[in-house]
Amino acid sequence: MYIFISWSKKASMEYALEIQKLLEKLEINVFISQKDIIAGDDVQEEILKNIVKCDKLILCFTKENKKSPWLLYEAGYAKGLNKTVIPLLFDNDLNWHSWIDNPMNVAKEIEINSSTFVQDFITGLGLDSIHKKQVSLFYNKIIKMKETNRLVDSECEDVIDKMLTSDAFMLPNPTFRNRTAYFSTGFESYDLYKIITESFMYTGKTLWIYGRKNMKLFGGNFKDFFKYLDEKSYNHENMAGIDFRCLFLNPNSKEIETAHPQQEIFKSELLSTLYRSKDVLGGNIRLQKCFRLYDNKRESIIIRLDNCIIYSRPTLSANGIPQLLTDTQFEVFSSESDQGKQCVKQFECIWDKSTEISSLEFF
């Protein structure tokens, strides 16, 4: 048997090299471009020649390389030759095959995170059951490597995965560095708030929003979210264990004069949103306590969803006026990171100094 291992980007290459080591110990012939193409070779010619030669092609698939044209090219070429193509998934991704058009979208995958991985790997590659111990050792090493290669901390992965399934957060988003995901666009968009509120309603316990006008929340698109909060607050004295907090800029504060490049429009929109919030919150005193007014200058924008921080920083004009934030860049990182701890501390400090929304005359 001759196996071609397809990879793209650093983590995928490291996993591919481990597969090569395992299979060669089992006396199986393997081709991997990282090892088997030498200086002076025609890279494309060597790759195509070995795909033609192979019996099976293993596709080393990660979140980082999910849209790599090389993976698509090599896998599609092999499939066109009626080779067996085995997608080996090193990261959870329900839509892993969405980037591949027919006929690749019918390829059956093997998932590293599956409880049946060892047996699936043995069966998929046609190995003998006596190799179970060696495959198990390989699995344990890959799990350790995955932790080392993790792009973001585990508490942020679900949120980022949901962003990556939305058309609003397409490539080149995101880039990763120091376990932080950097998105070049999409902040304070409807799509982002939809992901945040739905995640919170489904499994969340903590949601903090350090906003200004909060027009996205009270624009009429999140009725289910407020219904959920209303039920939690009415039926449970402590909001059923959830921690929801939302900060508005106080319309009576001095900061209102420099909070937006169009001061009069901004204040009008802020007041309109506060009036809408009064209608939405009604006479629910417990829910009203989840909203407060701050007076300080907002130097960062913080949304906390459980132990995940979604963060951006206002861009200031030459006069020090914050510019519009909708669809601007933002970062996602763990609340347990150094920067995350600072954000949590900053939010709590502002929250403690803020006043309840019921202090407004029209509430």
Q: What is the pLDDT of residues 198-241, one digit of tens each?
A: 999 988 999 999 988 899 899 889 999 999 999 888 777 778 88
- Say which residue, 169 or 106, is predicted with more confidence: 169
Residue the block writes with tokens 């289910």: 224
**Which pLDDT value is given to residue 52?**
95
**pLDDT of 321 strictly over 70:** no
- C-alpha distances in Å from residue 262, one per residue of 19, 256, 259, 271, 324: 59, 11, 9, 14, 10
Task: Decide if domain 2-149 falls under CATH 3.40.50.10140.
Answer: yes
Rg for the chain (alpha carbons), in Å?
Answer: 26
Looking at per-residue confidence, does 207 or 46 come out higher? 207
Q: How far is Cα 192 from Cα 195, in angstroms, rounded to an integer?
A: 5
CA 107 to CA 95: how far, in whole Å?
A: 13
Helices and strands, counts by H and E, the chain: 12, 14
> For residues 202 and 233, what is the distance between their CA atoms, to the nearest angstrom?
16
- Tens of pLDDT, residue by residue over 108-135, are 889 998 999 999 999 999 999 899 999 9
pLDDT of 291 strictly over 90: yes
Query: For residue 63, what pLDDT band results from cuts at 50, 70 and 90?
Result: confident
pTM above 0.75, yes or no: no
- Please state which of the four CATH numbers 3.30.70.20, 3.20.20.70, 2.40.40.20, 3.30.870.10 is assigned to the domain occupying 154-359: 3.30.870.10
Predicted confidence (pLDDT) per residue in 125-166, tens digit: 999 989 999 999 999 999 999 888 888 888 898 898 888 777
d(CA 87, CA 107) in angstroms, rounded, equals 7
Mean pLDDT within 353-360: 93
Alpha-carbon span 7 to 16, nearest angstrom: 6
Torsion of CA 182, 187, 191, 195, to 10 degrees: 60
Backbone angles phi, psi at 94, to 5 degrees: -60, -25
Q: CA 254 to CA 102: how far, in whole Å?
A: 60
Q: Kindly indicate the confidence band of residue 180, based on its pLDDT and cuts at 50, 70 and 90.
A: very high
Euclidean distance between CA atoms 71 and 36, whole angstroms: 17
**DSSP reduced 3-state for 36:** helix
User: What is the band of 341 on the pLDDT scale with cuts at 50, 70, 90?
Assistant: very high
Query: Helices 10-25 and 132-149: crossing angle, nearest 10°?
Result: 160
Q: Give me the residue spans of the domains in the chain.
A: 2-149, 154-359
Q: Which two tokens stand for residue 340?
A: 């995350």
d(CA 76, CA 63): 19
Q: How confident is the model at residue 106 (pLDDT cuts 50, 70, 90)?
A: low
Highest-confidence segment of 167-171, 235-239, 268-272, 335-339: 335-339
Q: Examine the pLDDT at 87 and tell me if it is beyond 70.
A: yes
User: What single DSSP character describes residue 93?
Assistant: -
Look up residue 342 and give its amino acid.
Q
Return the pLDDT at 105. Answer: 58
pLDDT band at 103; cut points 50, 70, 90: very low
What is residue 173's predicted lDDT score, i.e. its pLDDT? 65
pLDDT-based confidence at 40, cuts 50/70/90? very low
